[in-house]
Copies of this chain bind each other. A is one copy, B any other.
């Protein structure tokens, strides 16, 4: 059993809270470090174990991630699995000096987006994954390397994205030594059929290893897409509390798929998440208080779960 199997067991569903990273990317009202740690602790009490908490970028230019060391310490204090973006060699080198447990690399699915977003080709992005894996092997073999494929279901620059291309890049990332690969509907172009089809192919490619599905709810398809992903072998889902995180390409759009709603979805489908909805409510209250004016979404929060646990598949 590898470290990855322990952290993302293939026989159950794992939900990754990405609100403290992706959710803050475009936020106007930034929470204090204390508020972020309180939010983290509250969500941990609700049963969440996996957190993406920031990005190894210069703090001066990216104040939303300035307190990454404190957030890593917060995760360690509670024995949570922490992950953070490492978008270049310097970021990876910095990450390896910390207790962060997972380094997240991003590879664009299209050449156009790769050049526009990271000023490198996709091949160069895969080569960076390779270098980060080598660094990790040498310096901190217990950490995971995660490679996320952005724009895997359509690209705001290139339009249609070929699933074959995504699969090719996923295979290249695995060959480069990534422990886990993710596919992201970065701009919310996908419907459930496309998500289901690509997940089925990813499951075949990854074999016993899990893969991650990262969804944005830009066009309201987020939950349907997550259901299709679960139906087709995805066992790790990114989400953010209250759907925090906008999309620069779709003003007013919701961000990541709503964490609370994903918990409800998974439980209705018979996947026990180990996460308590009332506990998420408490975490949300902390995050909302810390980010006044920031829109929080989610239907389950508004309506509450149906009474009597009739909705849990295992209670039926």
Q: Which residues of A contact B (CB under 8 A)?
A: 154, 156, 159-160, 187-194, 217-221, 223-224, 226-228, 247, 250, 252-254, 258, 261, 264-265, 267-270, 298-300, 302-308, 310-311, 313, 316
B311 touches A220 (CB 8 A): no
> Whole-angstrom distance from the CB of A314 to the nearest CB of chain B?
12
**Complex CA distance for A220 and B265, rounded to whole angstroms:** 9
Q: Are B311 and A261 in contact (CB under 8 A)?
A: no
Q: Give the contacting residue for A191; candidates B219, B268, B299; CB below 8 A.
A: B268
CA distance A303 to B248 in the complex (A): 11
For A193, list chain B residues within 8 Å (CB): 268-270, 313
- Chain copies in the assembled complex: 2
> CB < 8 Å: which of B188, B224, B267, B308 contacts A192?
B224
26 A-B Cβ contacts within 8 A? A159-B310, A160-B316, A189-B306, A190-B268, A191-B265, A191-B267, A191-B268, A191-B311, A192-B265, A192-B268, A193-B268, A193-B269, A217-B299, A219-B261, A219-B264, A219-B305, A219-B306, A220-B264, A221-B223, A221-B261, A224-B226, A227-B228, A250-B303, A252-B303, A253-B299, A253-B302
Beyond A188-B306, A220-B223: 15 further Cβ-contacts under 8 Å?
A159-B307, A159-B308, A190-B268, A191-B267, A192-B269, A193-B269, A194-B268, A221-B223, A221-B261, A223-B223, A224-B227, A227-B227, A250-B302, A250-B303, A253-B303
Task: Kindly report which residue of chain B lies nearest to residue A155, judged by CB atoms.
Answer: B310
Does the CB pair B160–A265 fall under 8 Å? no
